[in-house]
Structure 1
Amino acid sequence: MAKNYIQPGNTISWTNADVTGAVDVASGDGVVAGSLFGVAQGDIAVGDSGELGLIGVYDLEKVSAQAWTFGQRIYWDATAGNATTTASSNKLIGVAVEAAANPSATGKVRLSAAFTI
């Protein structure tokens, strides 16, 4: 292994900065941090650090009125704090790995681990 290798990058440490409008993050919440999207691996209070999962399959809150199909691109609406099939200004985070009905509160998403540019 290269002497400059740090880690596989499946999770990344993130600090929930104590800035105006900051809120505590609960385990399982989606987080947009710059050009990264991850899922909090534990509760992360304002001012604390914690791990964000960047890859894997997660059951995420979704737009209830949307039906999802297997393999459909899924985006994160940071304003609403949920997953959606609507691209617009939302960040691409992965694909649906299971159909989700309309209505339903959550959907299974395989995170892409790609940058959400």
Structure 2
Amino acid sequence: MPTTCLTGRHDKHDVYAEQCPCRGVLDLLANKWTALAIGALEDGPQRFGALQRRLEGVSPKVLTQTLRRLEEAGFVDRTVYPAVPLHVEYALTELGAGVAEPLRGLRSWVERHLDELLG
């Protein structure tokens, strides 16, 4: 990890530093489909089709990409069950459950303030 990412103040990472890997995580979490997918998974493990129905308007391609990125980052677990047809479930990891709370707060804030924002 580049040392330019550390602020020097208690060895904390600095999301404002250009080369800090924090930015990649922030980019992933600030994505609307990420925030919605994590929110949908707060209710428990779900299959791809159920997630796609819950996240109205998401294409299968974008949902697949979002779930892959979340899995690679450690926010989501993908479990494949041997069945015909193939049965795949997605669930939040402990890390994913931890980030679900602040994302829930953001989604709630947007819903509460939408009328003000639309003026």
**TM (normalized to structure 2)?**
0.23
More helix by share: 2
**TM (normalized to structure 1)?**
0.24
More strand by share: 1
Q: Which has the higher contact order (CA 8 A, sep 6+)?
A: 1
**Which protein shows a greater Rg?**
2
